Each structure stands twice: as structure tokens, then as C-alpha cells.
Amino acid sequence: MRALAGLAVATALASCTTVPEPYRQDPRAQQELAQLLAGKTAGPPVSCLPSYNANDMRVIDGRNVAFRLGSRQVYLMQLTPGCHLLGNGGYALLTKQFGGMGMCQGDIAQVIDTTARMTVGSCGIERIIPYTTQGR
């Protein structure tokens, strides 16, 4: 009887654990990102986005946000899971900044429902990769 009870508990616990689905970028987001980065070469990741203008931010999907700095440079910010609602209408990315460093790797970002004014998700800034047009 104890073995049966132990098996039931183990089965119940196993059903509660979930393995995260592997991240798959949708084809539209892949195409938009390819167009944005066309002709640009990736540099080594940087720890902070040096400066940015929110008007130059493009949400690719809930895991990738691009910032254009002029016509020759794009910074691709890759986010950890949790901001999947970003990119849906009415949701915005908000980061808490302390000091003047801008957005940095390891910072926590929140997705805010701009209509209800409430947080609907959060994630970390995993990596910031600069892409630059070479020459010219």
C-alpha cells in the first residue's frame, strides 16, 4: 500500500513540473529581423546599451528588441523568457534605471499593459549585440 501511495505522489509531482518549450521565432519576426540587420556585421556583445531613443526601438518579438542608432548601427537586445506579451498591441517594455548607465545586461524589464496600467510579465536583459554597417 505504501508503494502505491508513493507512486501516486510521484506521479502527481511529475505532472506539476513543466519543461519550458524551446524558443522558436515566428517567420514574420525572422523576416523583420533579417531586414533590419541586412548588410550589418555583429560585434561582440556589450554590457550596456550606450544610449537610445525609445522612438527608435522596434519590438521584433517577446525575446528580441532592436534599437537603431543612426543609419549604420543597430543594437539587438535579447531577453530571457517572461516578456512574451511584448509586441502585442497595448503592451510596453519598462526598465528601472538607477544611475546613468542606460539599459544593461542583467537588468530586469517589465511588460506593462498600458491600458490597465499593470505589469503582465517580466524578464531579464540577457545579451546586447551591436550590429554595424561596415565601410562607406
What are the pLDDT digits (tens) for 73-90? 999 999 999 988 887 777
Alpha carbons 107 and 125: distance in angstroms, whole number: 6
Residue 5 lies in a domain: no
End-to-end CA separation in angstroms for the chain: 78
* Domain housing 67: 40-136
C-alpha cell at 8: 501516486
120 in Cβ contact with 82 (< 8 Å): no
Residue 21 lies in a domain: no
Q: Which helix or strand (DSSP H or E) is residue 14 part of? A: helix 2-16
Percent of the chain predicted with pLDDT > 90: 32
> Is the pLDDT at 48 greater than 80, yes or no?
yes
Q: Which amino acid is at 60?
A: I
pLDDT of residue 116: 87
Residue 131 lies in a domain: yes
64 in Cβ contact with 26 (< 8 Å): no
Residue 127 lies in a domain: yes
Q: With bands split at pLDDT 50, 70 and 90, how would you rate the model's confidence at 64?
A: very high
pLDDT of residue 35: 92
Residue 134 lies in a domain: yes
Alpha carbons 65 and 75: distance in angstroms, whole number: 8
Q: With bands split at pLDDT 50, 70 and 90, how would you rate the model's confidence at 5?
A: very low
Residue 13 lies in a domain: no
Residue 69 lies in a domain: yes
Residue 46 lies in a domain: yes
Q: Number of folded domains in the chain?
A: 1
Least confident of 13-17, 23-27, 94-98: 13-17
pLDDT of residue 70: 83
What's the mean pLDDT when you consider all of the chain? 79
